[in-house]
């Protein structure tokens, strides 16, 4: 049996003002450690978007339960949000006096003007 062998040569002296040849480099796969660092950075960047969306929603609605707030955020944000992430952002906004928990119902939040 014959094996077919191909050889490619590059003419390094070739020049033409209308042609540019770009050869893609091989991209390395992202390691697990790099992937976790990337996800952490993305979440840090998204914190401001989440906070702004929560404040916008609460300004309009004044009082909301956490489940309704989560569904409103799903509608406004372009990325999915975990309920645990919502809780941390809400706690941050409560600490910064943007909103407060209802004293009678701990699952309900009130916007502070």
Q: Is 89 within the bounds of a domain?
A: yes
The answer to whether residues 50 and 73 touch, using CB atoms and an 8 Å cutoff, is yes
What is the CATH number for 100? Answer: 1.10.10.10
Does 14 fall in a domain?
no
How many domains are contained in the chain? 1
Dihedral sign for Cα atoms in the order 64, 49, 99, 95 = positive
> Looking at the domain assignment, is residue 22 inside a domain?
no
Q: What's the pLDDT score for residue 94? A: 93
Does residue 16 lie within any of the structural domains? Answer: no
Would you say residue 32 lies in a domain? no
Note whether residue 28 is domain-resident: no
95 in a domain, yes or no?
Answer: yes
The tens place of each residue's pLDDT in the chain, 113 residues long, gives 677 888 888 888 877 777 766 666 666 677 888 889 988 898 888 899 999 999 999 999 999 998 899 889 888 888 888 888 888 999 999 999 999 998 998 889 999 97
Count of alpha carbons within 13 angstroms of residue 101, beta-carbon side: 11
What residues does 99 pair with on adjacent strands? 111
Does residue 39 lie within any of the structural domains?
A: no
The residue range of the domain holding 78 is 46-111
H/E run at residue 65 = strand 63-65
């Amino acid at each position: 049996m014959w094996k077919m062998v191909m050889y490619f040569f590059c003419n390094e002296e070739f020049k033409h003002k209308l042609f540019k040849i770009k050869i893609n480099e091989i991209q390395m796969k992202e390691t697990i450690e790099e992937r976790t660092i990337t996800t952490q950075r993305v979440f840090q960047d998204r914190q401001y978007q989440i906070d702004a969306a929560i404040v916008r929603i609460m300004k309009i609605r004044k009082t909301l339960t956490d489940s309704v707030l989560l569904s409103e955020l799903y509608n406004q944000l372009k990325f999915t949000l975990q309920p645990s992430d919502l809780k941390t952002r809400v706690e941050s906004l409560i600490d910064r006096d943007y909103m407060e928990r209802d004293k009678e119902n701990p699952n309900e939040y009130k916007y502070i003007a």
